[in-house]
């Protein structure tokens, strides 16, 4: 077989077979000897089976393809080639690149649903990486969107898909240097880092649970603002023994994946913070227990071992949360694009909007729609997949 391709055209050489050491070395050795120009390369191994693609410009003076076919046969591999006409340039810079991370119970049906949404919005899939290890629990899909397509429309479509099922979560992030260089993770506390609302637990212990719930519902329906609702709820705790608060703070139930998330972030050098509309006794207990760097929350006033029914200092409301996030980032010399914020309620919205990546965690639909992405099916450690970490890397970090 002679090489009859035009010297200005390229040839896509695809080699498949059982993965063994030395395959790439043998093939690139042949290309190097004949002076072929290597334009692009990609390799993937799935369950021990290798697929290697080489885009090359071949010289006209040698039967290079025949040599490659002979080498592949000796290696026990199959080799196919296809001439590619025109310039061998990748997708143009006018296309925006994004990463879709899918986490959950995945199979053909789930991945078909995601792929169908991507196709509907004109997204071209360029690469798929498996992040999970033992089972197909997480994949990372790299896509390119044409300039006329709005990434926000795709995000809403993927969110709609995720909200229609409890099987998996889908996140869309713009592919950039900042996606891979996050340095600070800021979290809400109640119903995010922990599974409970501390004020509800205190109210039940003091016999004012129903009154607190009614105030909370009024605030949720817009009948009063957050600050007033907090004042009224805290006022109901007047006279309560402060020991009850400390007992609850000492036994806070962590959300699934919280301990793993914090441990990995710390070992990778991330800074972490709690910014909560909850109470400082609980936030400080978590800070010490998990080794979190910062904790900001509301402080309950005490007198003679009893709660006075008042708070001290500025209330940590939605605006204050966003300000604290900015303050911590500035103190650490971290850009806002390098910050992740995680929360579950309307009080977290401004904080999530201020961060480079805002994550609604097991949140109500309104916050999920406003956030950059949401997590409902998995635990807090799902965030590690959004950072692009693989299960193998996580095992290495966790020792």
Choosing from 40, 133, 188, 381, the catalytic residue is 188
Q: Is the alpha carbon torsion for 308, 312, 316, 317 positive or negative?
A: positive
- Residue 40 annotated as catalytic: no
* 357 neighbors 270 (Cβ within 8 angstroms): no
Q: Across the beta sheet with 138-145, what order do the strands follow?
A: 124-130, 138-145, 96-104, 168-174
Angstrom distance (rounded) from CA 260 to CA 82: 47
Q: Crossing angle of helices 23-34/64-74, nearest 10°?
A: 160
Q: Starting from the edge strand earliest in sequence, which strands make up the sheet with 373-375, in order?
A: 306-312, 294-303, 271-279, 184-187, 339-343, 357-361, 373-375
Nearest-angstrom CA–CA distance, 111 and 167: 11
Other CB atoms within 10 A of residue 160 CB:
12
Euclidean distance between CA atoms 324 and 275, whole angstroms: 7
The whole-angstrom separation of Cα 373 and Cα 155 is 8
Among the listed residues 169, 190, 344, 372, the single catalytic one is 190
C-alpha 46/C-alpha 258 separation (Å) is 31
Q: 3-state DSSP call for residue 274? A: strand
Q: How many CA atoms lie within 13 A of 146 on its CB side?
A: 9
Spatial neighbors of 152 by CB under 8 A, at least 6 apart, are none
Q: Degrees (nearest 5) of the Cα angle 358, 361, 366?
A: 75
User: Residue 317 is encoded by which pair of tokens?
Assistant: 């409301």
Are the C-beta atoms of 351 and 372 separated by less than 8 Å?
A: no
SS3 (DSSP) at 63: coil
How far apart (Å, rounded) are the C-alpha atoms in residues 328 and 322?
A: 10
Active-site residue flag, 9: no
* Residues belonging to the active site: 188, 190
């Amino acid at each position: 077989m002679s090489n009859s391709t035009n010297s200005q055209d390229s040839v896509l050489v695809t080699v498949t077979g059982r993965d063994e050491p030395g395959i790439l070395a043998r093939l690139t050795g042949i290309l190097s000897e004949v002076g072929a120009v290597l334009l692009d390369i990609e390799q993937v191994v799935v369950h021990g089976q290798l697929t290697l693609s080489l885009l090359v410009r071949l010289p006209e003076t040698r039967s290079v393809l025949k040599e490659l076919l002979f080498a592949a046969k000796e290696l026990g591999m199959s080799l196919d080639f296809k001439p590619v006409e025109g310039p061998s340039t990748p997708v143009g810079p006018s296309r925006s690149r994004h990463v879709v991370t899918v986490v959950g119970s995945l199979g053909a049906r789930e991945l078909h649903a995601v792929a169908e949404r991507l196709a509907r919005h004109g997204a071209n899939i360029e690469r798929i990486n498996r992040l999970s290890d033992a089972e197909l629990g997480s994949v990372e899909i790299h896509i390119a969107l044409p300039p006329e397509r709005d990434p926000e429309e795709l995000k809403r479509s993927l969110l709609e898909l995720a909200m229609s099922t409890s099987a998996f979560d889908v996140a869309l992030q713009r592919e950039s240097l900042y996606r891979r260089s996050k340095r600070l993770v800021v979290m809400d506390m109640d119903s995010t880092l922990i599974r409970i609302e501390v004020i509800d637990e205190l109210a039940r212990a003091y016999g004012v649970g129903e009154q607190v719930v009614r105030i909370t519902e009024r605030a949720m329906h817009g009948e009063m603002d957050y600050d007033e609702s907090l004042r009224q709820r805290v006022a109901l705790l007047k006279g309560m023994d402060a020991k009850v608060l400390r007992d609850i703070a000492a036994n806070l139930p962590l959300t699934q994946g919280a301990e793993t998330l914090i441990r990995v972030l710390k070992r990778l050098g991330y800074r972490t913070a709690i910014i909560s509309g909850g109470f400082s006794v609980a936030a400080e207990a978590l800070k010490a227990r998990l080794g979190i760097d910062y904790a900001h929350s509301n402080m309950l006033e005490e007198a003679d071992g009893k709660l006075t029914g008042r708070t001290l200092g500025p209330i940590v409301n939605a605006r204050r949360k966003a300000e604290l996030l900015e303050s911590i980032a500035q103190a650490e010399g971290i850009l806002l694009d390098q910050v992740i914020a995680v929360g579950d309620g309307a009080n977290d919205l401004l904080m999530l909007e201020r961060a480079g990546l805002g994550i609604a965690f097991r949140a109500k639909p309104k916050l999920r729609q406003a956030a950059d992405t949401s997590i409902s099916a998995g635990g807090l450690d799902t965030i590690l997949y959004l950072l692009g970490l693989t299960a193998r890397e996580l095992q290495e970090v966790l020792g």
